[in-house]
Structure 1
C-alpha cells in the first residue's frame, strides 16, 4: 500500500470518494489521514493524532499523538488545542500537568469550543491538585449546554439538583437531565431515570435505566449495578445484571485488543530486526 498520497490527489477526491476511503480497512484509512496530516490539513492532523492515541490502523503511540495535536494546535486548530489539554490532563504521551491542561482548555473555551468548555468545567470541579472553582465550572457547563452539549447538560442538572453554588432547583434539574438524556448522554439518561423512578413514573425510569446501561463505560456500569441491585426491584436487578454483562464484554474486548497490539508490535520488531544469517553469509564471501 502506498502511504504517500499527494495533496492534489486528496483535493481531487469527492466527498463520496473520501467517505469510501475512510470507511475502508483501518490501515488504509490511517494512511489517507496521515497523508493529509503531512500535507498540513489541520483536521487530519487531529484525527491522525487520535488514531495514534487509540491504535486505530496504526501502532498505538501516545507520544506521537501528542506531537500531532501540538502541530494542529500551533496551526490554529481549536480541536488540537483541546486535545493538547486532554493529553496534559490525563498524561497521554506527556507528563500530567493540570495547570497546562487548564490553560489549553481555557484558550479553546473562550473561542467557543464546546468540548473545551466542558473539559474545563470538569477540571474545575473534579481534578485533584487543581484550583477547584465550582461557580466557574458551572459557568462553563452552562455555556457548553446552551450550545447543545449533552454531557454539559447533565452536569448543569447535577449542579441544580445538589445545590452546588446556588439554591437547589429539582424541577430545573429534571429538565436539564431530560435534555441530556434525549441528547444521548448515558449519565444524563441515568439521572433522568433516577428522578422519574423517584417521582412515581417507574416504568419510564426503568426504560431510561436500561437505555443508559447500553452506552455507559465499564466503570459506570459497575457502580450503576451496585445501586440498581440494592433497590430490590426485579426489573432494576435485571438491568444490573446486564450492566455487569457489559463490563465482562468490555474486559474481553480489551484483552483481545491488547493481544492484537502486542502481536502487531512483535511483527514490526521482527521486520526491523537484522537478518543475522544473511550477515554471516556476507562475511564469508
Structure 2
C-alpha cells in the first residue's frame, strides 16, 4: 500500500474540483480517495478530518494507525464537529491510539450530546449506566437514551426497551419493551432484532420470531453472534435452536480456532448415528487443529483412528 506514489493534490486542485468530481474520486480507489480526504483535512475541513481519522482507524487506503486516528478526531472535535467529538470520545473509551480515559470520553460524549448528537447521547448514557468516568446514574442514563430514542436512534431504542423489560428503574412494562424492541429492530439494530424475536416467540409468533432472529444473525458482530449461539442452543423451541446452530456455524466460518473447535464438538456430540455430522465434525476439528487449537490437535488423531 505504501509503495504506491500518492497523487500530488494542490490547493488549486481543491478549489477547482467540482462537487460531482470529488464525490466520484472519493468513491473510487481507496488509495487515491484517501489522498483527497487528507488534502481536505489538512486544509481544515472538519468533515474530512473525521473521515481521515476513520481511514486511519480502519486502514482504508493506508496503513492502520490508531494514534493518527485520535489526532485527526481531536482536530475535528476541537473545530466543533459533532461526529468528531463522538469519535474522539470513542478513542478515549476504547483506547484507540492511546490510553483508555473514561473521564475524557465522558466529556466529549456529553459535549456532543448536549449539542443534539444521538450517538453522543447513546455513548454518554452508556458511561452513566455503568459508572465509567462519571458517577453511576441509571435515571440520567435512561434520560439520555430516551432522548436519542426520540430521534430514532436504533441502539438507544433497544436499550430503552431493556429498561422496561428488566425494570431497571423499578417499572417493568412488557408492552412498552415490546414496542421499543420492534422499533429498534425495524431501525436495523441487531440487539433490538434479537430481543424483538425473543418476545415474538414468547407470544407464539414463531414465523416473525424466525425472520427477525435470522435478521439479527446476519447483522450481528462476532461477539454477539457467539452470545446468540450460546443462548439459542439452550432454547426449547426447535425454530430458535436451529438459528443457534446457524450462529455457531457462522462463528466457525468467520471466527477463530476456538470457534472452529466449538462447532466441531457440537457436530461430534450430535453425530451418534449420523455419519454426515461425524464427518463434518472431524473436518472442523482438523480446521481448529491447523489454526493452532491445542485441544483439537490432541483429539484429531483419536477421531482419525475411529474413521
1:41 aligns with 2:45: yes
1:171 aligns with 2:180: no
Is the Cα contact below 8 Å between 1:4 and 1:35 reproduced in 2? no
TM-score by length of 2: 0.78
1:53 aligns with 2:61: no
Number of residue pairs aligned between Structure 1 and Structure 2: 252
Once residues 107 and 220 of structure 1 are traced to their aligned partners in structure 2, the CA distance between those partners, rounded to angstroms, is 29
1:104 aligns with 2:108: yes
Is the Cα contact below 8 Å between 1:7 and 1:36 reproduced in 2? no
Structure 1 199/7 Cα, relative in aligned 2: closer, same or farther at 3 Å?
A: farther
Q: Aligned to 2:95, which of 91, 95, 102?
A: 91
1:117 aligns with 2:121: yes
Q: Which residue of 2 aligns with 1:196?
A: 200
Structure 1 11/182 Cα, relative in aligned 2: closer, same or farther at 3 Å?
A: farther
Once residues 247 and 126 of structure 1 are traced to their aligned partners in structure 2, the CA distance between those partners, rounded to angstroms, is 28
Once residues 225 and 9 of structure 1 are traced to their aligned partners in structure 2, the CA distance between those partners, rounded to angstroms, is 52
Once residues 39 and 129 of structure 1 are traced to their aligned partners in structure 2, the CA distance between those partners, rounded to angstroms, is 34
Ranges in structure 1 where 5+ consecutive residues have no aligned partner: 253-285
19-28 or 31-40: bigger deviation: 19-28
Is the Cα contact below 8 Å between 2:233 and 2:244 reproduced in 1? yes
Is the Cα contact below 8 Å between 1:3 and 1:35 reproduced in 2? no
Structure 1 182/18 Cα, relative in aligned 2: closer, same or farther at 3 Å?
A: same
Paired residues for 1:115-264 under 5 Å: 115-126=119-130, 130-251=134-255
TM-score by length of 1: 0.84
Bigger relative contact order, structure 1 or 2, given CA contacts below 8 A and separation 6+? 1
- What's the RMSD between the two structures over aligned residues? 1.7
Paired residues for 1:15-26 under 5 Å: 15-26=19-30
Ranges in structure 2 where 5+ consecutive residues have no aligned partner: 257-307
Once residues 85 and 123 of structure 1 are traced to their aligned partners in structure 2, the CA distance between those partners, rounded to angstroms, is 11
Shift of residue 131, structure 1, vs aligned partner: 2.2
